[in-house]
Structure 1
Amino acid sequence: MNAYYQAGVALFRRSLALARAEIATLAILLVIAGGSWTFVELAEEVREGSTAAFDRAIILALRNPANLSDPLGPRWFEEMMRDVTALGSTFFITLSAVLVVVYLLMIRKRGAALMVLFSVAGGTLLSFSLKRVFERSRPDLVPHGAEVYTASFPSGHATLSAVTFLTLGVLLTRLEPKRRLKVFFLAVSVGLTLIVGGSRIYLGVHWPTDILAGWALGSAWAMFVWLVALWLQRRGEVEQSVDADVDDGDAPARR
């Protein structure tokens, strides 16, 4: 009787794990489809000039009406936004990716290291290629609060912060067995992505639709790379990550 019970429990656990995997795959596909659709729609609207009124209204709403060179808020907040925007810079993103890749190689997570490298490098190439395609001018309504050198659409900071932070956030959720820490990692990755993009609008160096397009593109690309990683994992071509959820305690993670 005990053997039948154990077999039933094992079968239930396998079925539950399979169901969770299928739900996760569906969620990833929805993010990819939603992000891609949003980017395409925004690109069409931007080309037609339909977003001009929306873009102008948002940027002007963040400025002192009596002095458009003065963003709303105290001076320290403006300086803080410059610090925040640096988190999405090419230098910081590249440095972060290199350090994470080196760490993953040191702990023999070669598949995860390759995923991070491919995600960030591919996202960077995609972002700069699309900038050359659209060649959208930067906002000219207000003085820029940071130096800019490239075209405006899509935002490189928004795209690369979404790609990098979401990739790392999802990776950490797979390596961490505790559910509360999984939620924490995802919340931090999404939060960092949002504040970096928001800082670009606040500093007047991007139109709001540049940021929305960057978020959509970066999210879709990060999830696409993650979907490929899951597929390779199931084929046994890369190492498995932790799948079990643990609510509390100090149970060791299964590496």
Structure 2
Amino acid sequence: MEHPHLPHPQGADAAGQVPEAVRHPPWLLWAAAGLALAMAIVALVGWTIDRGHVFGFDRSIMRAMRHAGNTALPIGPAWLEGLMIDITTLGGGTALTLVVVLTAGFLAVRRLWITAALVVAATALGSLAVDLAKLIVARPRPQVIDHLVEVSSMSFPSGHSANSAIVYLTIATLLAQVVDTRGARNFILVAAGLLVVAIGCSRVYLGVHWPTDVLAGWSFGTFWALGWWALGAWIRIKRSTG
């Protein structure tokens, strides 16, 4: 069994029948709602940006990341810049690809084929959706403060924020369902959430993303992960109930 904490045959009664609430859960509906909401958030904010709307807090927050009068000097102690660069690397394509490959490989070795396939599909399709949104909206990178790292793609939505949410939150929910204690599950979920938040904040600190890019990326990635998680639950329940 792939996930002992999900509704599945372990919840069957003594006669081997799966309870009605388990046979007909709204997992597919939640999956569709999560994926639709993820796309809607990006589409709405992207449409607003495409029509030339400027969010005032974008510039204010970015200017707050630098010392007054010097757009090249980041705020905070000297080591903070290096830390932010290290954190932002955890949301890059190379790091996330390695995490997905290693996770999918581990799941395959454990013969958890459905979960492995869902991890690969969710992350690959999510990344493609983010790239497509970047091409459609074509929002230039912010030039309010100096960039502390090199970037080449469009700005909206933040790929680091969206893809890290997709990858780390999906994996966290999987891990949370195979540990025995509530404390361990909470730690895994909170740690993943904090990592995703840190990666998004690093993009603004480094000057390469507007805050709205990051907010849209977080929202998209979170609801995308939840949508695929619900879809996975629906698939497993369908398989367990025949």
TM-score past 0.5 threshold:
yes
Does structure 2 conserve the Cα–Cα contact (< 8 Å) formed by 1:201 and 1:208?
A: yes
Match in the other structure for 1:92: 95
Does structure 1 conserve the Cα–Cα contact (< 8 Å) formed by 2:42 and 2:133?
A: no
| Match 1:145 to one of 134, 148, 155 | 148
Does structure 2 conserve the Cα–Cα contact (< 8 Å) formed by 1:32 and 1:219?
A: no
| Match 1:49 to one of 44, 48, 52 | 52
In the TM superposition, what is the alpha-carbon distance from 1:115 to its structure 2 partner? 1.0
Does structure 2 conserve the Cα–Cα contact (< 8 Å) formed by 1:32 and 1:224?
A: yes
Check 1:142–1:82 CA distance in 2 against 1; reply closer, same or farther (3 A cut): same
Match in the other structure for 2:217: 214
Match in the other structure for 1:233: 236
In the TM superposition, what is the alpha-carbon distance from 1:218 to its structure 2 partner? 0.9
Alignment pair present for 1:156 and 2:159: yes
Secondary structure of 2:239 counterpart = coil
Alignment pair present for 1:82 and 2:94: no
Match in the other structure for 2:10: none
Check 1:231–1:55 CA distance in 2 against 1; reply closer, same or farther (3 A cut): same
Where does structure 1 lack aligned partners over 5 or more consecutive residues? 1-8, 239-255
Check 1:24–1:184 CA distance in 2 against 1; reply closer, same or farther (3 A cut): farther
Of stretches 22-31 and 202-211 in structure 1, the one that deviates more from structure 2 is 22-31
Cα separation, 2, equivalents of 1:191 and 1:234: 31
Cα separation, 2, equivalents of 1:210 and 1:74: 26
Check 1:136–1:218 CA distance in 2 against 1; reply closer, same or farther (3 A cut): same
| Match 1:197 to one of 200, 213, 221 | 200
Number of residues of Structure 1 aligned to a counterpart in Structure 2: 226
Cα separation, 1, equivalents of 2:144 and 2:56: 12
Does structure 2 conserve the Cα–Cα contact (< 8 Å) formed by 1:81 and 1:203?
A: yes
| Match 1:126 to one of 124, 129, 148 | 129
Q: Which amino acid aligns with 2:159?
A: G
Match in the other structure for 2:67: 64
Match in the other structure for 2:177: 174
Does structure 2 conserve the Cα–Cα contact (< 8 Å) formed by 1:42 and 1:213?
A: yes
Q: Which amino acid aligns with 2:76?
A: G
Match in the other structure for 2:226: 223
Cα separation, 2, equivalents of 1:67 and 1:161: 31
Secondary structure of 2:81 counterpart = helix
Higher relative contact order (CA 8 A, sep 6+): 2
Cα separation, 2, equivalents of 1:22 and 1:188: 29
Check 1:92–1:113 CA distance in 2 against 1; reply closer, same or farther (3 A cut): same
State the structure with more CA Rg: 1
Give structure 1 regions of 4+ aligned residues with deviation exceeding 3 angstroms. Answer: 21-38
In the TM superposition, what is the alpha-carbon distance from 1:170 to its structure 2 partner? 0.8
Q: Deviations over 1:170-191 (max 9, x none)?
A: 1111222321111111101111
Percent identity between the two aligned chains: 34
RMSD, aligned α-carbons = 2.5
In the TM superposition, what is the alpha-carbon distance from 1:40 to its structure 2 partner? 3.1
